[in-house]
């Protein structure tokens, strides 16, 4: 069993690790994913300790933030070793962390219920009102234009909606995640409709 002190250490680690982030992958994102993932775990009957720890560590090896450690999940693995997490539990946590990434995993089925809860929680935080805010925060941090209606190949924030965000509701792996995603997806689509209408001067 992963003790509460390890969870608290992981929380503090995330706060310090993401202290300077301005891309929407900050510590607040990690805490929201943690809270969502634990809620999903309770609804789905998954192991809450594995889910909580994986959620708190899920971005410390993200390719966008730590490309040098992403392949071997070096940061997460080092944290688990440092805090004496048992091998079987460490494997479960690392599997959940590894399976979060949209670019690497897409719609592939998670290997465990714990992985499914963490991944659904991360994807829920990419849609809805907070998802919209995070998309534009990330776009601004990367110097992306808001929109380019002349091209579907453009790397713009609005194109990101079509390339990823609008797909996420259909990729939820848990029933609880699907229920939560339905409302958030509706907000996302409503925002996009309003944005495009305003862009074209229709409203």
* Cα gap 92→112, rounded to integer Å: 8
* Cα gap 200→178, rounded to integer Å: 33
Residue extents of the structural domains in the chain: 4-199
Sign of the four-CA dihedral 32, 6, 20, 169:
negative
- CB atoms inside a 10 Å sphere around CB 176: 22
pLDDT digits (tens, 9 = 90+) for 45-63: 999 999 999 999 999 998 8
Listed as own residue / partner, the contacts of 104-109 with beta carbons closer than 8 Å and 24 or more positions apart are 106/171, 107/170, 107/171, 109/173
pLDDT digits (tens, 9 = 90+) for 94-143: 999 999 988 888 788 999 999 999 999 999 999 999 999 999 999 999 99
Indicate the range of 13-27, 36-50, 159-173 predicted with least confidence: 13-27
Q: For the domain 4-199, what is the CATH code?
A: 1.10.3210.50
């Amino acid at each position: 069993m992963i003790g509460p002190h390890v969870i608290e250490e992981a929380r503090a680690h995330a706060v310090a690790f993401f202290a300077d982030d301005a891309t929407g992958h900050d510590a607040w994102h990690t805490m929201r994913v943690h809270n969502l993932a634990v809620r999903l775990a309770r609804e789905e009957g998954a192991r809450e300790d594995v889910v909580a720890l994986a959620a708190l560590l899920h971005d410390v090896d993200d390719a966008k933030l730590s490309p040098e450690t992403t392949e071997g999940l070096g940061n997460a693995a080092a944290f688990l070793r440092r805090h004496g997490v048992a091998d079987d539990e460490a494997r479960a946590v690392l599997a959940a962390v590894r399976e979060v990434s949209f670019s690497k995993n897409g719609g592939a089925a998670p290997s465990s219920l714990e992985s499914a809860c963490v991944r659904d929680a991360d994807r829920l935080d990419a849609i809805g009102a907070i998802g919209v805010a995070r998309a534009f925060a990330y776009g601004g941090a990367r110097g992306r234009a808001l929109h380019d209606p002349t091209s579907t190949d453009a790397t713009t924030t609005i194109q990101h909606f079509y390339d990823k965000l609008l797909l996420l509701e259909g990729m939820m792996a848990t029933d609880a995640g699907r229920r939560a995603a339905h409302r958030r997806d509706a907000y996302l689509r409503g925002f996009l409709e309003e944005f495009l209408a305003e862009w074209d001067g229709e409203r």
